[in-house]
């Protein structure tokens, strides 16, 4: 299969990229190309202009900045996975990244490309939601920030204007002790998850102080199980409370697709939530 005809542009700075994006009709950004190139080859996308972000060094890089970890949009997924601060302070992010595609796709695929492609089952989308990441966006009207929760507008539709691009994101580094777990079910290792679950538990006085539970793959955008999060606060961390939290998945209205029916996703979600909570608590190292 061959992609449709387009004009190729290679800006050398963010300013140049923003000018091109605002000035060219029907333009598309090229990051790692791991999703866009197949989409072009299969004729799911027909841009007249392709703006390649790969020659803008300022868009890539990882830096610890106060209490946050800032990740440039063009940072390769492999570089984030291997970063010592991620391994030490945000292990759930590394756990999710290990399940994104394959070593070869992670070498090229970028963090920003995965977030903007916004596949409902993408691991990075779910984990950025669970970690309450803050996104940095640039456009002709200047820069703005957006919480990850407000980024997905609908199925594969990020809250970006046509002349805007994602420049980076920030993860808050945990200040309080916590335990976290990302788990998923996919038919084969390297496939997108059918369903994924990310859980973070903050212990307080031997009980659960606060909980964060996010599901990927059950709807067009990631789902935060807010009712279960609220119900867990102040509870004892045991099989009973985790089963009650998992039971909240019964209220989900997941999608049916060619892979699996909705009821299967709902049951899978409950199982993965229970497992993620159990492992998160084990990792919280409560004494
Ligand atoms: C065999 C294979 C298996 C895979 N398995 C998985 C998997 O299990 N889980 C998973 O999550 N992904 C998977 N992927 C997809 C992979 O993670 C991609 O890297 C990712 O979806 C897109 O990142 P990219 O950098 O390649 O972006 P590209 O493909 O270059 O771009 C993707 C989209 O994002 C837009 N975009 C890119 N950067 C920006 C930006 N800075 N601002 C605004 N818009 C932007 C592009 O215009 C395009 O629409 C797989 C891919 C392959 C080829």
| Same domain flag for 234 and 203 | yes
Tell me the residue length of the chain.
287
Q: 262 and 153, same structural domain?
A: no
Nearest CA to ligand 1 atom 23: 113
Residues in contact with ligand 1 by the CB-under-6-Å rule are 28-36, 73, 100-101, 105, 109-110, 112-114, 116-117, 119, 122-124, 160, 165-166, 190-192
| Per-residue confidence in pLDDT tens, the chain, 287 aa | 789 999 999 999 999 999 999 999 999 999 999 999 999 999 999 999 999 999 999 999 999 988 999 999 999 999 999 999 999 999 999 999 999 999 999 999 999 999 999 999 999 999 999 999 999 999 999 999 999 999 999 999 999 999 999 999 999 999 888 999 999 999 888 889 999 999 999 999 999 999 999 999 999 999 999 999 999 999 999 999 999 999 999 999 998 888 899 999 999 999 999 999 999 999 997 76
Query: Going by C-beta distance under 8 Å and a sequence separation of 6 or more, which residues neighbour residue 226?
Result: none
User: Which residue intervals of the chain are DSSP H helices?
Assistant: 14-23, 36-41, 77-82, 84-89, 91-97, 103-108, 111-117, 123-130, 226-232, 239-247, 262-283
Q: Indicate whether 254 and 241 sit together in one domain.
A: yes
* Domain containing residue 260: CATH number: 3.30.390.50
Instruction: Identify whether residues 85 and 26 lie together within a single domain.
Output: yes
Boundary of a domain, candidates 148, 174, 200? 174
| Rg, Å, the chain Cα set | 19
- Per the structure, the complete domain to which residue 126 belongs is given by 1-52+60-174
| Torsion 104-106-109-113 (CA) sign | positive
Output the pTM of the full model.
0.96
Same domain as 88, residue 150: yes
* Domain-terminating residue out of 174, 207, 227: 174
Same domain, 166 and 187: no
For atom 2 of ligand 1, the residue with the nearest CA is: 101
Q: Are residues 190 and 158 in the same domain?
A: no
β-pair type (207-216, 195-204): antiparallel
Domain end point (choices 174, 195, 210): 174
């Amino acid at each position: 299969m061959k992609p449709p005809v387009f004009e190729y542009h290679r800006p050398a700075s963010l300013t140049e990229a923003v000018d091109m994006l605002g000035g060219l009709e029907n333009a598309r950004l090229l990051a790692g190309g791991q999703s866009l190139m197949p989409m072009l080859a299969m004729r799911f996308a027909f841009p007249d202009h392709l703006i390649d972000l790969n020659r803008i060094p300022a868009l890539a890089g990882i830096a610890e900045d106060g209490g946050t970890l800032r990740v440039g949009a063009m940072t390769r997924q492999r570089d984030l996975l291997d970063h010592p601060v991620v391994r030490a302070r945000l292990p759930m992010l590394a756990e999710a990244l290990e399940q994104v595609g394959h070593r070869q796709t992670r070498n090229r695929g970028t963090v920003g490309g995965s977030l903007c492609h916004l596949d409902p089952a993408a691991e990075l989308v779910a984990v950025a939601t669970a970690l309450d990441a803050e996104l940095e966006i640039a456009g002709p009207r200047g820069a703005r920030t957006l919480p990850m929760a407000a980024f997905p507008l609908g199925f594969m539709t990020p809250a970006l204007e046509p002349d805007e691009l994602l420049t980076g994101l920030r993860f808050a580094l945990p200040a309080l002790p916590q335990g976290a777990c990302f788990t998923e079910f996919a038919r084969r290792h390297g496939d997108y998850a059918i369903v994924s679950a990310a859980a973070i538990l903050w212990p307080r006085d031997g009980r659960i102080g606060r909980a964060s539970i996010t599901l990927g793959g059950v709807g067009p955008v990631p789902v935060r199980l807010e009712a279960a999060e609220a119900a867990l606060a102040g509870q004892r961390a045991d099989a009973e409370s985790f089963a009650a939290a998992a039971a909240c998945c019964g209220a989900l209205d997941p999608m049916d697709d060619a892979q699996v029916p909705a009821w299967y996703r709902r049951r899978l979600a409950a199982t993965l939530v229970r497992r993620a909570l159990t492992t998160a608590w084990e990792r919280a190292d409560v004494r």
